[in-house]
Amino acid sequence: MRAFACGEPRLESFRSHGEAATGEVRMDVGSIHRTLLVYAAPLLLMQLLQQLYNIADCAVIGRFCGAFGLAAVGVAGLVLAVHINFFIGFSVGVTSAVSRLFGARQYEKLRCAIATSVVIAVGAGVLLTFLGELLGQQYLSWLSCPVEAMGDALLYLRICFWGLVPQLVYNVANGILRALGNTKTPLAYLAVSAVLNVALDLVLAVGLGYGFAGVAWATLAAQWIVGLAMLWRLTRLDTRFCLGKDAHLLKMAEFLALLRLGVPSGLQAAFMSLSSLLIQVSINAFGPAAMAGMVVFAKIEGFLYYPAFAYGMALTGFIGQNLGAGQLERVEEAMRISCRTAICATVVISAVLMVVAEPLVGFFTEDAATLANGLAAVYWTFPFYFLYSLNQVYIGGLKGLGEAGIPLVSALFAYALFRVLWCEVLLPHWHDMAVIYNAYNISFLVSLSILVPAYRRAYHGLMISRS
């Protein structure tokens, strides 16, 4: 492992309200509602900022490269998402493990867990980069990428694969900081990266005329800067557990325990991306306008998807710390608050987005067919999106309790299997994009039917073992 120097000695005790001098926050004390809100707010802003980050790229491509450019980014983005989302999910597993060690004040094991997680991210990023460069064209062929979009999609994919290492490092480091209660630092770093990405988009793609390739290179540069910044931040934590040259890797038994939390979470996220890849084949059959419409829809959907996902990640850290500290009553109250918050917030945001959907979609494209497809996706799916938000609450709750296997089973059955079978069975008889939209809606309900009883069993099991 590369040697890092830890920062200067930090305060060895936490302040009375639970916050350390280096930004870590204890969540097993204080008001549950306020703590959840303060902890989750930067994560919500971070995900919205990430969405604006993506929108900048999409808007430049849509305006300067047309529908085929959007279609190319959409297909290439799905391939990248399978790799990246695995480590976004893996980072949630890391959050669960690290937060419990932090809550239990097992700082030496915590230091080893942080070092091990970073090594996994770097090693996997290098491996996936070379696999991506080797198999990139084959990936696109498997997705039946249209000939018109193949060249741009392959170019975009090959450039962006070189950003996998910093993206994986960023996501794992983000999971570590979340576990320590620090959601402000990743937000600040991402904000700088987003501004830099937009500036480079304008300079490279528009000003210098590099177009499609310029957008990809701008994204790559911003990713490396934020990835390295997050790696540096891990060396500036409290000296009891910061990443440093004297940090050791976990012992085999503890390493396997980390993988038991991280890998199922990663596979859950990967299965969701895999289901999108498989459904993309069905979408491709409707032509480039349908493909581009779904790309635009995904950018607008992000204003619902990412906050819900972020809240679930926040809940994992909160519950993990409280479980480590033996505060099960706070776990149950946090779940009740989170369910109410998820439903109310999603219904309100969905309604607002549906009202302004037409100008939002029109921001990305002037093509009438693409506009129609994007609007149809919004109107079919947004009324039911509160179900997805509830999914994320229960997934966050289960992972915080250390039950990473159930969300994996839910994702495999409800997303990777149900959605695909739904489309395979119905599309031959009803060849309409509405079939695909409803595959998403009903899969949210199917997933909830698995997650809710599983959470109740896990929580009551802990209560019984405690008594």
Rg, Å, the chain Cα set: 22
**What are the Cα distances from residue 258, in Å, to 263, 318, 406?**
8, 18, 16
Q: CB-based contacts of 309: which residues, under 8 Å, 6+ apart?
A: 47, 392
Least confident range from 117-126, 151-160, 404-413, 420-429: namely 151-160
Judged by DSSP in three states, 329 sits in helix
User: What is the DSSP secondary-structure string of 29-89?
Assistant: SS-HHHHHHHHHHHHHHHHHHHHHHHHHHHHHHHHHHHHHHHHHHHHHHHHHHHHHHHHHH
Report the distance separating Cα 441 and Cα 26, nearest Å: 37
Instruction: Answer yes or no: is pLDDT of 334 > 80.
Output: yes
Residue 247: pLDDT over 50:
yes
Q: Which residues are CB-contacts of 76 (< 8 A; sequence separation ≥ 6)? A: 140, 153, 154, 156, 157, 160
First to last CA, the chain: 43
Sequence-ordered list of residues with C-beta below 8 angstroms from that of 360, at least 6 positions apart, any chain: 300, 353
Contacts of 379 (CB under 8 A, 6+ apart): 354, 357
pLDDT digit string (tens) for 314-333?
788 788 888 877 788 888 88
Highest mean predicted confidence (pLDDT) among 7-16, 358-367, 426-435: 426-435
Average pLDDT (34-46) is 76
Q: Where are the domains of the chain?
A: 43-466
Residue 242 has a CB neighbour count (10 Å cut-off) of 23
- Percent of the chain residues topping a pLDDT of 70: 81
What confidence tier does 246 reach under pLDDT thresholds 50, 70, 90? confident
The answer on pLDDT for 16 being more than 60 is no
Quick check: 155 pLDDT over 50? yes
Question: What's the rounded Cα separation, in Å, for the pair 36 and 349?
Answer: 20
The most confident of the ranges 98-107, 186-195, 312-321, 433-442 is: 433-442
Mean of pLDDT values over 407-415: 84
Question: What confidence tier does 51 reach under pLDDT thresholds 50, 70, 90?
Answer: low
pTM score over 0.75: no
Cβ neighbours for 408, distance < 8 A, ≥ 6 positions apart: 264, 265, 267, 268, 271
pLDDT at 100: 76
Mean pLDDT of 406-411: 85
pLDDT for residue 85: 72
Burial class (CB in 10 A: 0-12, 13-18, 19+), 387: buried
C-alpha triplet 110, 111, 116: angle, nearest 5°: 95
How does residue 390 score in pLDDT terms, banded at 50, 70 and 90? very high
Give the model's pLDDT for residue 5: 37
- SS3 at position 25: strand
Half-sphere exposure of 362 (CA within 13 A, CB side): 4
Minimal CA–CA distance to 294: which of 221, 370, 355, 408?
A: 370
Average pLDDT over residues 251-270: 76
- What pLDDT score was predicted for residue 353? 92
* pLDDT value for 412: 83
Mean pLDDT check: name the lowest of 39-43, 165-169, 351-355, 454-458. 39-43
Higher pLDDT residue, 166 or 160? 166
Q: For tokens 């505060």, name the residue.
A: 327
pLDDT of residue 464: 80
**pLDDT for the residue 211:** 67
The residue ranking higher by pLDDT, 136 or 241, is: 241
Query: Which tens digit of pLDDT belongs to each residue from 84-112?
Result: 777 777 776 777 778 778 877 888 888 88
- Tell which residue, 348, 324, 347, 322, has the closest CA to residue 335: 322
Collapsed DSSP state (helix, strand, coil) of residue 214: helix
C-alpha–C-alpha distance, residues 177 and 36, integer Å? 15
Residue 191: what residue type?
A
| pLDDT (average), residues 425-442 | 88
Higher-pLDDT residue of 352, 300: 352
Confidence category of residue 403, pLDDT binned at 50, 70, 90: confident
Structure tokens that stand for 238 in this block: 């409290």
More reliable by pLDDT, 183 or 177:
177
Evaluate whether 50 touches 207 at the Cβ level (below 8 Å): no
User: Residue 2: pLDDT above 50?
Assistant: no
Which of 101, 127, 251 shows the shortest CA–CA distance to 180? 101
